[in-house]
Amino acid sequence: MFETRKKVTRWGRCGLAMTGFAVALPGVVAIAEESDIIRGKTGPWGALEMVHCQFEPPAWYLDAAGFETMPGDWHFPGFTREKVTAYLESIGMEQSQVASLFSDLPEPQPSDGVILRPSAELIRKLSREQRGRLYGDLARSDRNLMQQLPFSIDPRGFAHMAKGSGLDGDLVSEVTSMVYLKDGLPVFADLPLLLEEIPDPAGKRRLLSVLLRQEGMLVRVKIPESHEERRIMADYWSGGIRDRNSRLLALLDSLSKGEGAGVPMDLLYLPPPNARKLINTYPPQESQVGNVAPDCFWTAFNFLADEVSDRALDPGMIDRYLEDRYEPVPDEPVFGDVIVFSDPETLVPFHACVYLADRLIFTENGQSLLRPWVLMRLDDLAVSYWGDRPMAAHVFRRIREPDQP
């Protein structure tokens, strides 16, 4: 799965951008039963016990995001009315449907294009294929924000996402009927229509909370019984850094004694300090530089850093980070390695994450304050993030500083 490359160039950005909010802990929903616990294999990291869960942002994050003000208009910049008509008919719209779109145009119309305001009836009648083609084309313009940045839907379906949410069954079915594929992944973009039809603010927030649910994992680590195995475990999770190694070993030794002996410890105690503060939280408003929020690259490059640097928010700095601070490795990844996922032909990357242990990774899936920092299985990330796009994975390891013990 992993490849070695000398250099990864022409960096893009991953995810979506939103304006800022204050920091908050997420709501945690859909905790699994004991029978759903995934028990990993034993290695130098110990033995992981993992359970899937879903995180959702607090209500006041949703209020600040401004979803209710997003218009549902379709913008066709650079199109004439004749060209729009021909295009809509080419994707299978009936002449009567096209005529209805032009019978009630929003005003004012731009001089360099056409704006259409589709009715609820027309939106509902779009087939999955029509919706996918139309919204895929609309996404080429920044004026069509909902189509450009649609909500990701769990491959298992929106009904799976909505478990335990209290959403009305008819609403779940309606969202499901409007899901389409973008790059092979299921997405949803017709939020303005549904928000307009939901009468109460609480109902609107409930729908938004479910659409923004982010899957992650809660993880515990079994502490080995022997001191030698604990020493190996401390060495793995410290990345070989002597100071961290001694502190972790002291912690593991102390937890292996007394009444708590044999009880798995929360994995949150094991990563470096900067990452420990981020796991299972949402980015705070002050983490933005201008309107640019932390993303997967910022997260990966700051994982082992003594001090957090915002230079990784600059797309022009990412190449330099890899060249100056990391080296490509042909091995399977170990704790602290950065995995960069890119297009195999152009080498344009679309995601990065930090490898922890036993195919468990740490990441943020999007450049947004509405995306938490989470733990995930590497296989789950692949299923949910890039769909049918070609993908190459490259492993990079942090270069040890000369004065680092």
Structural domain boundaries of the chain? 2-57+215-398, 64-211
Which DSSP letter does residue 180 get?
E
Helix axes 242-255, 227-238, angle to 10 degrees: 140
Count of Cβ atoms closer than 10 Å to residue 252 Cβ: 23
Write down the pLDDT at residue 85.
97
pLDDT at 47 over 70: yes
CA distance 283 to 206: 21
Q: What is the dihedral of CA 328, 331, 335, 338, to 10 degrees?
A: 30
Q: Is 329 helix (H, G, I), strand (E, B) or coil?
A: coil
Q: Is the pTM of this model over 0.85?
A: no
Which DSSP letter does residue 403 get?
T
Please give the structure tokens belonging to residue 361. 């990774």
Question: Which of 9-23, 88-102, 111-125 is predicted least confidently?
Answer: 9-23
Tell me the per-residue pLDDT of 195-252, one tens digit each, with 9 for 90 and over.
Answer: 999 999 999 999 999 999 998 999 999 999 999 999 999 999 998 677 777 889 999 9
